[in-house]
């Protein structure tokens, strides 16, 4: 009957609805009983008490009316008496029609008889008043009418008492019935809850047992235990799913037998390759836990793979600079040629660190590979190269100084005059000496920047002052070559935080190169402007220019361009140094050019913070 999951779930719902219906019907029945008792309490007895109060009020007013009749106003007393008498009779008949208690009927009958006597006595009082006077009427009032009045009041009090006692009894019964109803509802609800939980738990366990077995088998397959068949215990959708799972499991077992050997072989091959690499390698998961390290890493950091695996990187390797590189990659920050320094046994090692993400087929990152390339020997060679260049530069500079002094002496008249041919030779020697001196100065400057031995002297600078200082320096050079030099600086430029002397050097270098590549009457225009949060300086010339594809190469080391041709080594350090200085100020520098139309050099420096 119940062969599908839908029908089984429907059956469980029907059972729960039936249990809820039982609780509801029980509650409604008990509430109905309580409502009936409350209705009797609030309507019948209350109606009798209200009628008794009304009769009490009217008989009191009638008694006052008699007093008014005797002692004050005969006509008003009679009129008011009969009006209140009518209201008394109305209340009396309400009470007579609403008798609910056994002893109440006799009381109502006595009140009727007493009230008839009361009215008869009032008629006798009127006759005495008319015939014998006020004195006789007053005596009759106190002796007969007041006695009759007190009896009526007592009987009315009895009616109230009987109904109040009945109300209290009904109230107690209602409270008792409410308590009983509460207990009945609690018991029925508890039985319904227990029955519902037991029945639904039994049915759900029975219905989901195949799913539990299936889930357990799936977990075993995930762990690699392939081949276990799940028993089919139902004929519903779960039974069909179990059958399909068994078929799939059987196919996986066959596939594993055919591919497991190949997979193990490939895995071992990959591990062997990683283990054989002569550089330290660390493989991490996405949570920075160590998955694998090679032998070189074990030796260098003095750790064992079996101890390090599944532990966090920072617990095993206490090198913050390596973890920083991994973290930068994991947060999608770029790291280029990052060199780190590590001390081991009082020795200094340099590594070029490389961090690569490991992605699955869906491009989701699940780990990182850290490769530490040992560049200690290269760093030592670089230091030796720097020392060698410093020594050679010093020796060259000493010799060049002597040569320059000699050429200056030869050009003077103190050592005698020179022929025109001799003057040309001396001038050529002087120019070559100046060129070599410039090259050596640039080499020394570049070397200092590469080794970070010379720090920038940052302070508040005004770009207008920097441009004016550079113009003052190169103005004579432009005049000698008859090149027109123009400059224009935007007023009130914000300050920058920079090294004034080095920025002047950058401008001198760019403008000097522009002058060298200009002919007579060419124009060099220098302009300083504000661009958003930066100060931009442009140097535009109308010289020979260069092909656009070469504008990036001029910032490389040892490159000099002339008339669109690449010249051999010996020049080109100036633009490389300029780029180093600008980038050291967190700025940028670039060039646009076209052959025959000149070049435009632009560099930008950030404004001082807060300006």
Tens digit of pLDDT for each residue in 159-203? 888 888 888 887 777 777 778 877 888 888 888 888 878 887 777
Write out the two tokens for 407. Answer: 């050429």
What count of Cα atoms within 13 Å lies in the side-chain half-sphere of residue 586? 11
DSSP state of 331: T
Write out the two tokens for 517. Answer: 């590549």
Write out the two tokens for 426. Answer: 């001396």
Sign of CA dihedral 362, 364, 369, 370: positive
The string of pLDDT tens digits covering residues 408-425 is 777 776 666 677 777 777
- Note the pLDDT of residue 211: 72
Tell me if the domain spanning 5-199 has CATH number 1.20.120.1730.
Answer: yes
Tell the CATH topology of 319-454: Beta-Lactamase (3.30.450)
| CATH architecture entry for 456-606 | 2-Layer Sandwich (3.30)
Q: What is the rounded distance in angstroms from the CA atom of residue 3 to the CA atom of residue 235?
A: 6
Domain boundary assignment for the chain? 5-199, 319-454, 456-606
Q: How much of the chain exceeds pLDDT 90, in percent? A: 21
Indicate yes or no: pTM above 0.75: no
Query: Cβ distance 69 to 95 under 8 Å?
Result: no
Q: What is the rounded distance in angstroms from the CA atom of residue 560 to the CA atom of residue 574?
A: 9
Nearest by Cα to 114 from 76, 158, 74, 79: 158
State the CB neighbour count (10 A cutoff) for residue 178. Answer: 16
Q: What is the rounded distance in angstroms from the CA atom of residue 546 to the CA atom of residue 564?
A: 5
3-state secondary structure 368-413: EEEEEEECHHHHHHHHHHHHHHHHHHHHHHHHHHHHHHHHHHHHCH
End-to-end CA distance of the chain: 83
Residues contacting 381, CB < 8 A, separation 6+: none
- Note the pLDDT of residue 507: 94
Query: Cβ distance 550 to 565 under 8 Å?
Result: no
Q: Alpha carbon 313 to chain centroid distance?
A: 27
427 or 474, greater pLDDT: 474
DSSP state of 596: T
Query: Cβ distance 112 to 92 under 8 Å?
Result: yes
The string of pLDDT tens digits covering residues 254-272 is 666 665 556 566 666 767 7
């Amino acid at each position: 009957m119940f062969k599908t999951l839908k029908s089984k779930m429907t059956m469980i719902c029907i059972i729960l609805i039936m249990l809820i219906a039982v609780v509801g019907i029980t509650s409604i029945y008990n509430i109905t009983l309580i409502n009936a008792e409350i209705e009797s309490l609030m309507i019948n007895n209350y109606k009798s008490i209200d009628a008794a109060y009304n009769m009490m009020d009217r008989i009191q007013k009638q008694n006052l009316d008699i007093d008014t009749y005797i002692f004050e106003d005969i006509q008003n007393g009679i009129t008011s008496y009969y009006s209140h008498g009518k209201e008394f009779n109305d209340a009396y008949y309400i009470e007579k029609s609403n008798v609910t208690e056994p002893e109440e009927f006799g009381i109502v009958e006595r009140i009727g008889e007493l009230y008839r006597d009361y009215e008869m006595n009032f008629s006798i009082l009127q006759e005495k008043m008319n015939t014998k006077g006020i004195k006789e009427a007053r005596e009759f009032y106190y002796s007969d009418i007041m006695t009759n009045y007190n009896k009526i009041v007592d009987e009315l009090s009895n009616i109230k008492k009987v109904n109040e006692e009945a109300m209290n009894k009904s109230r107690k019964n209602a409270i008792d019935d409410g308590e009983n109803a509460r207990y009945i509802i609690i018991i029925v609800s508890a039985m319904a809850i227990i029955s519902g939980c037991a029945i639904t738990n039994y049915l759900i366990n029975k219905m989901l047992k195949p799913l539990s077995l299936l889930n357990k088998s799936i977990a075993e397959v995930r762990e690699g235990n392939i081949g276990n068949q799940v028993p089919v215990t139902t004929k519903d959708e779960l039974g069909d799913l179990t059958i399909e799972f068994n078929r799939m499991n059987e196919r996986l077992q066959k596939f594993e037998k055919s591919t497991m050997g190949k997979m193990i072989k490939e895995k071992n091959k990959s591990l062997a390759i990683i283990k054989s690499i002569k550089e330290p390698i660390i493989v991490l998961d996405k949570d920075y836990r160590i998955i694998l390290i090679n032998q070189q890493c074990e030796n260098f950091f003095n750790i064992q793979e079996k101890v390090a695996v599944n532990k966090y990187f920072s617990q095993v390797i206490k090198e913050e600079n390596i973890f920083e590189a991994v973290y930068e990659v994991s947060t999608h920050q770029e790291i280029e040629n990052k060199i780190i320094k590590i001390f081991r046994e009082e020795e200094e090692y340099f590594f070029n660190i490389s961090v690569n993400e490991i992605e699955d087929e869906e491009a989701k990152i699940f780990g990182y590979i850290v490769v530490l390339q040992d560049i200690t020997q290269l760093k030592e060679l670089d230091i030796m190269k720097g020392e060698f260049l410093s020594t050679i530069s010093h020796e060259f500079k000493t010799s060049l100084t002597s040569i320059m002094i000699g050429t200056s002496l030869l050009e003077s008249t103190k050592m005698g005059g020179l022929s025109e041919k001799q003057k040309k030779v001396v001038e050529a020697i002087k120019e070559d000496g100046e060129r070599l001196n410039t090259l050596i100065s640039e080499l020394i400057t570049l070397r200092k920047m590469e080794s970070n031995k010379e720090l920038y002297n940052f302070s508040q600078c005004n770009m207008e002052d920097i441009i004016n200082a550079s113009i003052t320096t190169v103005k004579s050079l432009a005049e000698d070559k008859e090149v027109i030099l123009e400059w224009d600086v935007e007023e009130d430029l914000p300050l920058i935080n920079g090294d004034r002397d080095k920025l002047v050097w950058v401008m001198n270098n760019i403008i000097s190169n522009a002058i060298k590549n200009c002919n007579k009457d060419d124009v060099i225009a220098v302009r300083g402007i504000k661009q958003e949060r930066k100060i931009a300086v442009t140097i535009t010339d109308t010289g020979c220019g260069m092909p656009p594809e070469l504008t990036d190469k001029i910032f490389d080391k040892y490159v000099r361009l002339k008339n669109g041709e690449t010249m051999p080594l010996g020049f080109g350090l100036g633009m490389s140094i300029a780029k180093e200085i600008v980038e050291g100020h967190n700025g940028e520098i670039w060039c646009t050019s076209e052959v025959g139309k000149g070049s435009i050099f632009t560099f930008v420096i950030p404004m001082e913070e807060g300006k």
